[in-house]
Amino acid sequence: MKISFSRVAAAALMTMSSAASIADDGSESGKAAGAIGGRFYLSPMASYTIADSKRGTDDGIGGALSLGKQLSNGFALELSGVYTAYGAKQGGSSAKLTAGQANVLFFPGQMNFYGLLGMGFGEVRSQPGATEKYSNSLWNAGMGYLIGPFNLGAQGISLRVEALFRADSHAEKQVGETTNNSFREASFNVGLLIPIGAAAKEVAAPEETVAVVPVAGTADSDGDGVADEADQCPGSEAGSAVAANGCAAAAQDSGTAEAPGAAADGSSECKLPEPGQAVTEQGCAAPNTLSLSGVSFDQDKAELTEKAKKILDELAEGLQASPKIRIEVDGYAQSSADEAQDKQLSEQRAKAVSDYLVGRGVDAGRISAIGLGAVADMGSRVEIKVLP
């Protein structure tokens, strides 16, 4: 039976639909293709080929081994070795195809579906007909699908299925049961795609530097983001990190959070607590407000950076050492045209800090998180208030 490209395309669509239904487990589109991560990969596959009726053999089984390289999330090149053993019809003989070929894989829109175009050269032995051995050129076109990824000994392994239309072109015409110089066949492949080496680590985007813009109607002579009327330390360097009063706190200079029980100015001075005021483990008065310098967020986001997590780790240790202290996490946001959005973002930031502290062992009952929106002179701060 001569195989038409339209029939192979229909079979390919059915194969891909089945693969997609198997993979429909909530995985993200393009996740398997993205897991290759620009690496080299090996792809061993088993194959089943529907033989052209003019070849004079039964269908064939075989396999392929490919070495490829992902050049981008939507494009890959690979070199393949192909082997197919065609079965013998009654009273006839079998045939064996070996070939090497180059393939181009296209992932449209970074999806797990891909298109494949390939060509190669090979040799067929024991072919029925007047000519038992001949050289040929192979042309492949089809579609495939990646299911996964699965971390099975190597990071990012995917199941690979594909359906191909294959043209076997040759100069010898006395091949097979009729006089012709081309066989058209369908080949279906199933195997694995195994990335080689470790996946590239994601490089964290540099923190955005946000220009400090004074609130309309107020003056900020030194450009530190604190209005002159509230600035207790005029002359600060423009853009420098300062507290709400315009002064640089010791904790901000070191890039760490002040632990509960330390003096507000970073010294070791121990102040006697007022009646009802929370105290540290050493019996000192706990500061009312802790400025979490270094706990920063990307523009319009509430995800903690690695630097912020390190600072919160220190704060969590201090809170665990002082189990009687209860705190309030106040989140702020840069002012925008949407007050509701500012409020929501500040709440998300406060909750992100609260959830992280709870995850580090601090009792959730000791923490409350409040989003205060965009407050003049506060910017994208996150502050801790010690509750009585």
Q: Are residues 177 and 48 in the same domain?
A: yes
Residue 37 has a pLDDT of: 81
Residue 5 has a pLDDT of: 44
Kindly report the CATH number assigned to the domain that includes residue 97. 2.40.160.20
| Preceding peptide of 128 cis, ω within 30° | no
Among residues 195, 228, 262, the one where a domain terminates is 195
Q: Give 125-150 pLDDT, tens digit per residue.
A: 988 877 788 899 999 999 999 998 88
Report yes or no on 226 lying in a domain: no
Q: Which of 99, 97, 11, 94 is nearest to 58 (CA)?
A: 94
Among residues 195, 222, 257, the one where a domain terminates is 195
How far is the C-alpha of 138 from the C-alpha of 183, rounded, in Å?
A: 10
Report yes or no on 30 lying in a domain: yes
- How far is CA 11 from each of CA 5, 14, 85, 115, 142, rounded to the nearest angstrom? 10, 5, 22, 14, 10
Least confident segment among 193-202, 243-252, 353-362 = 243-252
Q: Are residues 267 and 352 in the same domain?
A: yes
Q: Are residues 56 and 182 in the same domain?
A: yes
Residue 62 has a pLDDT of: 97
Report yes or no on 216 lying in a domain: no
Task: Label residue 203 by pLDDT band (50, 70, 90).
Answer: low
Number of domains in the chain: 2
Phi, psi (degrees; rounded to nearest 5) at 251:
-65, -35
Residue 339 has a pLDDT of: 83
Q: What single letter denotes the amino acid at residue 301?
A: K
Query: For the chain, what percent of residues have pLDDT higher than 70?
Result: 68
How far is the C-alpha of 365 from the C-alpha of 337, rounded, in Å?
A: 35
Higher pLDDT, 18 or 289: 289
Report yes or no on 91 lying in a domain: yes
Q: Are residues 103 and 186 in the same domain?
A: yes
Residue 275 has a pLDDT of: 55
Q: Are residues 284 and 141 in the same domain?
A: no
Residue 259 has a pLDDT of: 42
Residue 26 has a pLDDT of: 39
Q: Are residues 28 and 108 in the same domain?
A: yes
Among residues 180, 195, 210, the one where a domain terminates is 195
Mean pLDDT (whole number) for 178-203: 83
Q: Are residues 184 and 261 in the same domain?
A: no
Across 19-28, 188-197, 363-372, which has the greatest mean pLDDT? Answer: 188-197
Q: Are residues 42 and 159 in the same domain?
A: yes
Instruction: Please state whether beta strands 289-291 and 157-169 pair in parallel, antiparallel, or not at all (unpaired).
Output: unpaired
Whether the predicted pLDDT of 22 surpasses 50: no
Kindly give the residue spans of alpha helices, DSSP state H, lying in 174-255: 250-254
How many residues does the structure list for the chain?
388
In sequence order, the 6+-apart residues with CB closer than 8 A to the CB of 67 are 40, 41, 42, 43, 78, 79, 80
Whether the predicted pLDDT of 334 surpasses 50: yes
Q: Which of 3, 30, 44, 25 is nearest to 190 (CA)?
A: 44
Q: What is the dihedral of CA 264, 268, 272, 275, to 10 degrees?
A: 40
Q: Are residues 104 and 166 in the same domain?
A: yes
Report yes or no on 288 lying in a domain: yes
Report yes or no on 147 lying in a domain: yes
Whether the predicted pLDDT of 380 surpasses 80: no
Q: Are residues 167 and 288 in the same domain?
A: no
pTM beyond cutoff 0.85: no
Q: Are residues 156 and 286 in the same domain?
A: no
**Residue numbers of the domain that contains 366:** 249-387
| C-beta separation of 200 from 171 below 8 A | no
Task: Label residue 31 by pLDDT band (50, 70, 90).
Answer: confident
Mean pLDDT (whole number) for 100-123: 91
Kindly report the CATH number assigned to the domain that includes residue 303. 3.30.1330.60
Q: Give 292-317 pLDDT, tens digit per residue.
A: 666 767 777 888 888 888 888 888 88
In sequence order, the 6+-apart residues with CB closer than 8 A to the CB of 257 are 251, 290, 292, 293, 294, 295, 311, 312, 314, 315, 318, 384
Report yes or no on 262 lying in a domain: yes
